[in-house]
Amino acid sequence: MASREQFSSRTGFIMAAAGSAIGLGNIWGFPTNTASNGGAAFVLVYFLMAFCLAYPALMAELIIGRHSRSNIMTALRFIAPNKSSRILGTGIGLYGVLIASLILSFYGIVAGWMMTYLAESVTNMAGWTEASAWLTGFSFERNMISMGIFMLLTMAIISSGIEGGIEKWSTRLMPMLLVIMVALIIYVFTQPGAMEGLKVYLLPDISQIKPALIIDAMGQAFFSLSLGVGTMLVYGSYLSEKENLPKLGVAVTLVDTGIAFIAGLLIIPAIYVAQHNGTTIVTDDGSLIAGPDLIFQILPSLFNSMGDIGVFVAFAFFALMTIASLTSSISMLEVPVSLAVEETPANRRQATLIIGGVIFCFSTIILLSFETLFEFVINLTTVYSQPILGVMLCIFTGWIWHRDNLLKEIKAGHPEIEGTWFWKIWPGYVKFFCPILILLAFFQSIAS
């Protein structure tokens, strides 16, 4: 077997994993979910879910990945001790690969919107009003073309294996996204209405915590950390034996939830500023507007209110969002492509072309019946399948994988871990608590 590529440094891995984690989930998904679930109560439950359930599941993926050095299906088959667990591993692996592909099929649509708003900032500067109207109008043609371009970019990166270059760029550019968001937050806070939004974002109303909120928060946490489908598993497979996995996992979780929190700090107050400027922000039943295009209504109106520099800010913001989406989308496409390359005679280019083409068709079908399919695919994949896959991976790690091998893998790289909390708690935690808690969240949502 050819020797496998590895991340050349710890920072290289953190960049790649953070690049995968940080994306539309943080800046589009988290604020939209917060708005539709009534604000601060959602934020609170989201953080609990991220650290108590998603982080342990992230560790399971990283540890399995580094141990088996392969894609999700091959990895689960590799650690399975007997025939029936190998069949189970194959099933879970294929389910994960399917879900990763379906996630990419809706992700490409939203990322395409980011690109149309990027293009619109240019047509706006040039004064081409018709082009601007087309770019921001919701038409099938616009949606399909922008999604197609985004898919082509994702496929080009995956087939040529230039992720390394992308990661380098994204590390230079992501701090800029942070800077722009912080600057925008400061601007928003000077506007009338912002403080009302800040209260909604930060002061939880515990009575809002309903089954639907809990399950949405869980799905959002799993989505934001790219869990369940083998993305983090395959990134872990490129990690060297020398790394301290629990620490890397904490770093990724902190950076990811931190960026989501900051995005919410921008968007939720901005909604109330927009209300102050005359936009209707509550629906007839009194809840906050929160459709998929929430941020595409709020942000442009914010940029417009800034005067002449608004279009430059818009350009920079949407350019950075497009790049953040690309470092996430490549990590999704890597899941089916790594399986195809390792398990079939296809080479990387062929695998990328075929799989990318199929996912493009999925996306087109979603666009053709947007009203029925878009939310449905998002819920099916992120709210239900990702946590269920998380349960399965925890069960695989805790119950099926030979315990000595598991412990040996955790210890690899830093034997002193035996004295830590992680060593004492985590193995039992993923074995019992994680699956039980995730399943409980499901049952109470189904029961209600």
Which positions touch ligand TRP (CB under 6 A)? 20-21, 23-26, 100, 103, 223-224, 226, 229, 231, 328, 331-332
User: Alpha-carbon distance 222 to 386, whole Å?
Assistant: 6
40-49 and 245-276 helices, crossing angle to 10°: 170
Q: Cβ of residue 392: shortest distance to ligand TRP, in angstroms? A: 15
User: Alpha-carbon distance 193 to 301, whole Å?
Assistant: 14
Q: Cβ of residue 354: shortest distance to ligand TRP, in angstroms? A: 20
Residue 394's identity, in one-letter code, is: C
Alpha helices in 277-309 (DSSP H): 294-304
Q: Cβ of residue 178: shortest distance to ligand TRP, in angstroms? A: 15
User: Alpha-carbon distance 254 to 248, whole Å?
Assistant: 10
Q: Which residues pair with 282 in a beta bridge?
A: 288
Q: Which residues pair with 288 in a beta bridge?
A: 282
The answer to whether 239 and 6 are in contact (CB under 8 A) is yes
Q: Cβ of residue 127: shortest distance to ligand TRP, in angstroms? A: 34
Residue 195 or 358: which CB sits closer to ligand TRP? 358
Residue 124 or 159: which CB sits closer to ligand TRP? 159
Q: Which residues pair with 48 in a beta bridge?
A: none
Closest C-alpha among 117, 135, 171 to residue 313: 117
* Contacts of residue 436, Cβ cutoff 8 Å, sequence gap at least 6: none
Q: Cβ of residue 72: shortest distance to ligand TRP, in angstroms? A: 11
In the chain, DSSP finds a helix count (H) and a strand count (E) of 22, 0
Residue 143 or 327: which CB sits closer to ligand TRP? 327
Residue 131 or 156: which CB sits closer to ligand TRP? 156
Closest C-alpha among 439, 436, 430, 331 to residue 55: 430
Q: Cβ of residue 279: shortest distance to ligand TRP, in angstroms? A: 26
The answer to whether 201 and 193 are in contact (CB under 8 A) is no
**DSSP state for residue 287 in the 8-state scheme:** P
The answer to whether 132 and 400 are in contact (CB under 8 A) is no
Q: Cβ of residue 334: shortest distance to ligand TRP, in angstroms? A: 9
Residue 28 or 272: which CB sits closer to ligand TRP? 28
User: Alpha-carbon distance 407 to 210, whole Å?
Assistant: 38
Q: Name the 3-class secondary structure at 282.
A: strand
Residue 300 or 336: which CB sits closer to ligand TRP? 336
Residue 122 or 180: which CB sits closer to ligand TRP? 180
**DSSP state for residue 289 in the 8-state scheme:** P
Q: Cβ of residue 55: shortest distance to ligand TRP, in angstroms? A: 14
Q: How far is CA 308 from CA 125, 177, 297, 318, in A?
A: 10, 20, 19, 17
Q: Cβ of residue 256: shortest distance to ligand TRP, in angstroms? A: 7
Residue found under tokens 């999604």: 147
Q: Cβ of residue 311: shortest distance to ligand TRP, in angstroms? A: 26
Number of residue whose CB is nearest ligand TRP: 25
Residue 103 or 410: which CB sits closer to ligand TRP? 103
Residue 21 or 63: which CB sits closer to ligand TRP? 21
Residue 22 or 80: which CB sits closer to ligand TRP? 22
10 Å CB burial of residue 51 (0-12, 13-18, 19+) is middle
Q: Cβ of residue 61: shortest distance to ligand TRP, in angstroms? A: 10
Residue 161 or 428: which CB sits closer to ligand TRP? 161
User: Alpha-carbon distance 42 to 34, whole Å?
Assistant: 6
